[in-house]
Structures are given as C-alpha cells and as structure tokens.
Amino acid sequence: MNTTKRKVKQQRRSSLRFWIVATLLLSIIYIWLQQKGDTYDIRPGNNVQEAIPITGLHPVVAESEKLLVRKAARRGIEIVVTHGYRSMEEQDALYNQGRSSAGSIVTNAQGGDSYHNYGLAIDFALRTPEGDVVWDMDRDDNGNGQADWMEVVDLAKELGFTWGGDWANFPDYPHLQMNFGLSINELKRGKRPPEPH
C-alpha cells in the first residue's frame, strides 16, 4: 500500500512539473512572439483581417492632402508635401538616421510603427516666394499677421488630420495623420480603414 501511495505521489509531482514547465515554455514563446509582433489579439470581436498591401496614400488622405494644398494656396501659402506613404524599409532607414547612420534623429518610429507605413500620414513644408522649401514655423509670407505654418495646421485639422506638433513626448511639427480610430497595433494586425464608396 505504501508503495502504491508513493507511486501516486510521484506521478502527481511529475504531472505537476510537466504542466509548470509547459506553461513556462508557452509563456516564453508568447512573449517572444509578441515582441516580434507576430501575435494577435484573440479576444472575441478582434478577428484578424487579411492585411491589404499598402502602396500609397489611403484615398481619403490623398484627397484631403490635395484639398489642404488648394485651401492653403487660397490664403497665399504654398505648401510642399515632403512625405506621404513610406515603406517599412524606408521607415527603418529613417529611424536609423542619427542612430546607426549619419544625421540627426528625426523619428522614434521603426518600420510598421508609423502611420506613414499604412498610407495614413503626410509631412509638409512651406515654399517661400523665392522658391525655397523651409520648415520655418514663424514665417508669415502672406502678411496676415499669423504664422503660415499654424494656418496650415488649422486647415489640416478642419479636414480631419491630427497634427504631430500636439504630441507631448516627441512633437513632430511637419506631420499630419488620419488614423480613422485605428491604433498602430490594429494596423499591424491587418485592420484597415474603410475605403470610400
């Protein structure tokens, strides 16, 4: 009888060890995959969608960009869109600037972590009457007593853009984006804003 009890206890300990090790291994694998960005939210209602390849600006963003350029021009402000859609490789190269390659740090977003990578963001600059492209937030070339840069920002906000200059942790003054209520993590999982009809 003692031998049987001992065997049962040993089997229970063995089984417990197995489940502890299995749980630990699964946790480590999950954490590793999560850091790589290969995991998905498995809660109900958060189904992963088929990721649509992105090759340019979302149609709403592209139309709003054109409208922004026209509205600014009516106020005597010429803007230049310096960036729109950016591939993951281009984003990584920009992220490496000032880190592993020459130049100043201009972004904290690696490939996949920027709304540019999903065609939902643009960057702009001003063109002076002399034809120079500048990032001068104080210029008033149209002479109305307001900084041209902030006039463009106000117009962009009216069109539904969010301005990177409002970000507290890393202001990005040339940046305008439309996120359609989607987070970067949702975009990484394949969710996309609806296309206009």
Query: Over the range 140-159, which residues count as b (16 or more CB within 10 Å of their CB) and which as e?
Result: ebeeeeebbbebbbebbeeb
Q: Give the pLDDT of residue 7.
A: 77
**Model pTM above 0.85:** no
Q: Give the pLDDT of residue 76.
A: 97
Q: Give the pLDDT of residue 51.
A: 52
Instruction: Using DSSP, state whether 100 is helix, strand or coil.
Output: coil
Q: Give the pLDDT of residue 6.
A: 77
Topology adopted by domain 59-188:
Muramoyl-pentapeptide Carboxypeptidase; domain 2 (3.30.1380)
* 16 has a pLDDT exceeding 50: yes
DSSP 128-169: -TTS-EE--TT--TT-SSS-HHHHHHHHHHHTTPEEGGG-SS
**Residue 90, Cβ density class (10 Å: 0-12 exposed, 13-18 middle, ≥19 buried):** middle
State both tokens at 38: 């290969």
Residue 5 confidence class, pLDDT cut points 50, 70, 90: confident
